[in-house]
Structure 1
Amino acid sequence: MSTATLVLTAAGSVVLLLFLVMKARMHAFVALILVSFGAGLFSGMPLDKIAETMQKGMGGTLGFLAVVVALGAMFGKILHETGAVDQIAIRMLKSFGERRAHYAMGIAGLICALPLFFEVAVVLLISIAFAVARRTGDNLVKLVIPLFAGVAAAAAFLLPGPAPMLLASQMHVDFGWMILLGLCAALPGMLIAGPLFGNFISRHVSFNLPEESSQPDVEQHKMPSFAFSLALILFPLVLVGLKTIGARFTAEGSRLYEWLEFIGHPFTAILLALLLAIYGLAWRQGMDKEKVMQVCGSALQPAGIILLVIGAGGVFKQVLVDSGVGPALGNALTGAGLPIALACFILAAAVRIIQGSATVACLTAVGLVMPVIEPLHYSGAQMAALSICIAGGSIVVSHVNDAGFWLFGRFTGATEAQTLKTWTLMETILGTVGAIIGMIAFQLLS
């Protein structure tokens, strides 16, 4: 088929996806599967290959991510139930003081969100922002914008978050470089989009505190120490980083090299972190086996829904790749003379604005650019930089088709207009700053 037809198929698929999710109110999982069938048919794929390609897309996406998300969900839930997450947030506030509480909220959000899903982190931490606002008398906007910026930065750029882990696995990225460049993008992005922008926008927009708001219901004397809580959250990242650094100083194929590869794999790192949280923290606090089972089981319920949507996004991505739609659109964009890093950002941003989901934007952008960049044989570090560009594009201009938009409004009591002025601008600043850092890193590493 002609390039124009394939590009129109891609555009039409995304428009149809938007219609099904926003207007027809179809569940994102069903809509993605349906649109994938349509993209395969209209792109001229052999009928007997469509279902086979979809199966490959689902398996290829979830084969890695299902284990990471499931273990990560249980790990994060255990940390919450034992008070480790709350301990970090409270210590940050004490260290920074009430006058700089907005910086404390941003850093607490960034750290505490590492083992948690975005929605879970918001639910667990938002009450701290309410309590601080009551104590300091600050405009709630000044505190919740940094909190959401920290949580969003962790979800977008930092391992072991589902989106960056997904990008790392799909683009064959070196995990150590992903951690390093993710930090380089997340920290300045959070500071600019969070405390600095929050302080500015709080002069123009104000939120009222909810009638009932309190600190997390965790007894102070039962909480683990701040040092131990922080060490638990950073433990899997240290193992992954140790593999990347240590492997450079050991002979490939040696016994030590194999052990570093083994303990630094995300499967092993997060599993060991989970076991340490259960046996080194939960049991020491007196949590019995039945309670541990209940906590882990409850953590898997939201994870299952997230995984299904991510898997369906992988199906759509694979159909775009195998049908030729992805290569055609990717080549058309790069053929326009755009630098590859900028093209990654624009593709992800376009899909994000049209259909709302950051995860689907990441997967779709990967499907569109991988056929173009694979033959160029970029290094793992360069691929990490391109992944950061895609991650940045996948969170910009959040509006009414994004669940995060409504989540922010629900917890803060903001109107749609206020949410656009605060949340939408914060996400756009965060994604743009992160992507710019990814582009700079790509140039420096080239």
Structure 2
Amino acid sequence: MNTLTLVLTAVGSVVLLLFMVMKVRMHAFVALILVSICAGLFSGMPLEQICATMEKGMGSTLGFLAIVVALGAMFGKVLHESGALDEIAVNLMRLFGTKRAHFALGVAGLICALPLFFEVAVVLLIGIAFAVARHSQGNLVKMMVSLFAGIASAAAFLVPGPVPMLLASQLNADFSWLIIIGISAAIPGMIIAGPLFGSVISKVVTFDTVEDETVGAEVARDKQPSFGVSVAMVLLPLVLVGLKTIGSRLVASGTTLDKWLVFIGHPFTALLISCLVVMYGLAPRYGLTRQQTMAACAAAIQPAGIILLITGAGGVFKQVLVDSGVGKALGAALLGTGLPIAIACFILAAMVRIIQGSATVACLTTVGLMMPVLTQMNYSPAQYAALAICISGGAIVCSHVNDAGFWLFGKFTGATEAQTLKTWTVLETILGTTGAAIGVLYFYLLSA
């Protein structure tokens, strides 16, 4: 099909999806599946390929996410029931002060998310945000926006996040410069998109708390963990995941020890070990019976199932749009406009992201489309590092209903689709644009 038809199909699919979810009030899972089929039909995909593509999209999305969300939800639930999250919340407020509690959450998200995938960090840290909001009597919107901004900035710009690591390998970028430029982009991006934007939007948007659904009823307890024990439990999966990164620097690749570190450091194994520690070590020590612990885990799984179904349907929509060839059509059109290369990288990544939802796919598509142009230029590895930040910034802007992060934010915070667009979508756009602006600045400074 021609470029215009593909672009119109993509735009029409997004508009139809927004209409069905926000106006018709169709359940998001059904709407995503229905629109995916329509997008496949109107993009000219063979009928026999549409269902295969939908199955591929669901499987590739949930293959990782299902285990992470389930184990992470149980882990966070038991931490809450034992009083560990409350202890952390009280001490965070004591350190930063009640009025700056949202800054504390932004910093916590930025630091704790470094060794984790975005989804893993969300399920591990979401309970702390609820606890801080409860103890500080603060606005939940402000707390959640700050936390998610910290997590998203780490995932987008900071090594060893999967997106910057992927781009560095694809572009042969200099890792030292990638770290420097990434930090320069992540910190101001987190502050502007998190605490500052959160303070503004919290005056307009109010979440109906979902804490009773995702965290559960309070359990009477005579004692709760100390601050040190609480922090150690929260950091346990982070430390286990970090073993893989540390091991790759200190242990010879392919050795038995290296293989064990990689196995233990996988998010699946790290979360499973952490769940077992809090369920059978922490919980009984601080007043939870075996029955209470299992009931807490069961309660955590129920909302996780809804999140997984909707997220998987978002993966279906993404895969249909990817396999339809929309990204290639957009790239060919954009490269003919003569835009400066750094800005073209940002815009192309943003366009692909808006249409198909995945930041990783947006990055890979952009690199694939830009490499024929980039290889003709005599750019340094440092300049490629700056371009990597421009691409990663574009790949996170305008998150909406075809992005898993959109549904994770909405379901974990209790925001409606309209509220998620006003908060999460704007947050991601501010963060991506700020980070990309830093990348563009570095690119031209390094070109001088």
Q: Contact 2:397/2:428 (CA < 8 Å) preserved in 1?
A: no
Q: Contact 1:185/1:435 (CA < 8 Å) preserved in 2?
A: yes
- Cα 1:184–1:118 change in 2 (3 A) is farther
- Which amino acid in the other structure matches residue 96 of structure 1? F
* Structure 2 CA distance for aligned equivalents of residues 52 and 171 of structure 1: 29
Q: CA RMSD in A?
A: 4.9
- Cα 1:368–1:98 change in 2 (3 A) is closer
* Structure 1 CA distance for aligned equivalents of residues 427 and 161 of structure 2: 23
- Which amino acid in the other structure matches residue 116 of structure 1? V
The C-alpha deviation readout for 1:397-446, integer Å capped at 9, x for no partner, is xxxxx8868998989xxxx9xx97x9987665445445556778999999
Matched, 1:247 2:254: no
* Percent identity of paired positions between Structure 1 and Structure 2: 49
1:285-304 paired onto structure 2 within 5 Å: 285-304=286-305
- Cα 1:70–1:102 change in 2 (3 A) is closer
1:106-255 paired onto structure 2 within 5 Å: 106-107=106-107, 114=121, 116=123, 123-130=130-137, 146-157=142-153, 187-196=187-196, 222-255=223-256
Matched, 1:342 2:343: no
Matched, 1:370 2:364: yes
1:319-398 paired onto structure 2 within 5 Å: 319-333=320-334, 335-336=336-337, 337=339, 339=342, 341-343=345-347, 346-347=350-351, 350=354, 362-363=357-358, 366-367=360-361, 370-374=364-368, 388-389=392-393, 392-394=396-398
- Which amino acid in the other structure matches residue 228 of structure 2? A
* Structure 1 CA distance for aligned equivalents of residues 194 and 247 of structure 2: 35
The C-alpha deviation readout for 1:346-404, integer Å capped at 9, x for no partner, is 337746xxxxxxxxx743x544553443585999x9998578525641459xxxxx886
- Cα 1:249–1:391 change in 2 (3 A) is same
* Structure 2 CA distance for aligned equivalents of residues 409 and 307 of structure 1: 15
The C-alpha deviation readout for 1:254-297, integer Å capped at 9, x for no partner, is 21221121111111111111112212211211312221111111
* Structure 2 CA distance for aligned equivalents of residues 384 and 232 of structure 1: 34
Q: Contact 2:392/2:432 (CA < 8 Å) preserved in 1?
A: no
- Cα 1:439–1:87 change in 2 (3 A) is farther
- Cα 1:367–1:344 change in 2 (3 A) is same
Q: How far has the Cα of 1:304 moved from its partner?
A: 1.0
- Which amino acid in the other structure matches residue 342 of structure 1? F
Q: Contact 1:40/1:323 (CA < 8 Å) preserved in 2?
A: yes
* Structure 2 CA distance for aligned equivalents of residues 6 and 180 of structure 1: 39
- Which amino acid in the other structure matches residue 143 of structure 2? L
* Structure 2 CA distance for aligned equivalents of residues 326 and 259 of structure 1: 39
What secondary structure, in the 3-state scheme, does the structure 2 residue paired with 1:299 have?
helix
- Cα 1:41–1:106 change in 2 (3 A) is closer
What secondary structure, in the 3-state scheme, does the structure 2 residue paired with 1:223 have?
coil
What secondary structure, in the 3-state scheme, does the structure 2 residue paired with 1:283 have?
helix
* Structure 2 CA distance for aligned equivalents of residues 244 and 205 of structure 1: 41
Most deviating of 12-21 and 430-439:
430-439
TM-score with structure 2 setting the length: 0.71
Q: How far has the Cα of 1:168 moved from its partner?
A: 9.2
Most deviating of 182-191 and 164-173:
164-173
* Structure 2 CA distance for aligned equivalents of residues 35 and 128 of structure 1: 42
- Cα 1:434–1:368 change in 2 (3 A) is closer
Q: Contact 2:83/2:224 (CA < 8 Å) preserved in 1?
A: yes
Q: Contact 2:221/2:286 (CA < 8 Å) preserved in 1?
A: no
The C-alpha deviation readout for 1:178-228, integer Å capped at 9, x for no partner, is 9999987665444344455667x59x96999x9xxxxx9677962211122
2:55 corresponds to: 55
1:59-70 paired onto structure 2 within 5 Å: 59-70=59-70
* Structure 2 CA distance for aligned equivalents of residues 207 and 59 of structure 1: 34
Q: Contact 2:70/2:304 (CA < 8 Å) preserved in 1?
A: yes
- Cα 1:70–1:425 change in 2 (3 A) is closer
- Which amino acid in the other structure matches residue 293 of structure 1? M
* Structure 1 CA distance for aligned equivalents of residues 364 and 352 of structure 2: 13
Q: Contact 2:346/2:394 (CA < 8 Å) preserved in 1?
A: no
Matched, 1:40 2:44: no
Most deviating of 94-103 and 288-297:
94-103
Q: How far has the Cα of 1:239 moved from its partner?
A: 2.2
* Structure 1 CA distance for aligned equivalents of residues 303 and 394 of structure 2: 25
1:26 corresponds to: 26
Q: How far has the Cα of 1:102 moved from its partner?
A: 5.5
Q: How far has the Cα of 1:332 moved from its partner?
A: 3.2
Q: How far has the Cα of 1:148 moved from its partner?
A: 2.9
Tell me how many residue pairs correspond in the alignment: 402
Q: How far has the Cα of 1:108 moved from its partner?
A: 6.3
Q: Contact 1:109/1:149 (CA < 8 Å) preserved in 2?
A: no
1:308 corresponds to: 309
* Structure 2 CA distance for aligned equivalents of residues 309 and 434 of structure 1: 29
- Cα 1:145–1:85 change in 2 (3 A) is same
Most deviating of 288-297 and 186-195:
186-195
TM-score with structure 1 setting the length: 0.71
Q: Contact 1:189/1:429 (CA < 8 Å) preserved in 2?
A: yes
* Structure 2 CA distance for aligned equivalents of residues 124 and 75 of structure 1: 15
The C-alpha deviation readout for 1:94-118, integer Å capped at 9, x for no partner, is 2234565564465567789945378
What secondary structure, in the 3-state scheme, does the structure 2 residue paired with 1:287 have?
coil
- Cα 1:388–1:25 change in 2 (3 A) is same
- Cα 1:11–1:107 change in 2 (3 A) is same
- Cα 1:249–1:330 change in 2 (3 A) is farther
Q: Which sections of structure 1, spanning at least 5 residues, go unmatched?
A: 134-139, 211-215, 352-360, 397-401
What secondary structure, in the 3-state scheme, does the structure 1 residue paired with 2:123 have?
coil
Q: How far has the Cα of 1:69 moved from its partner?
A: 1.1
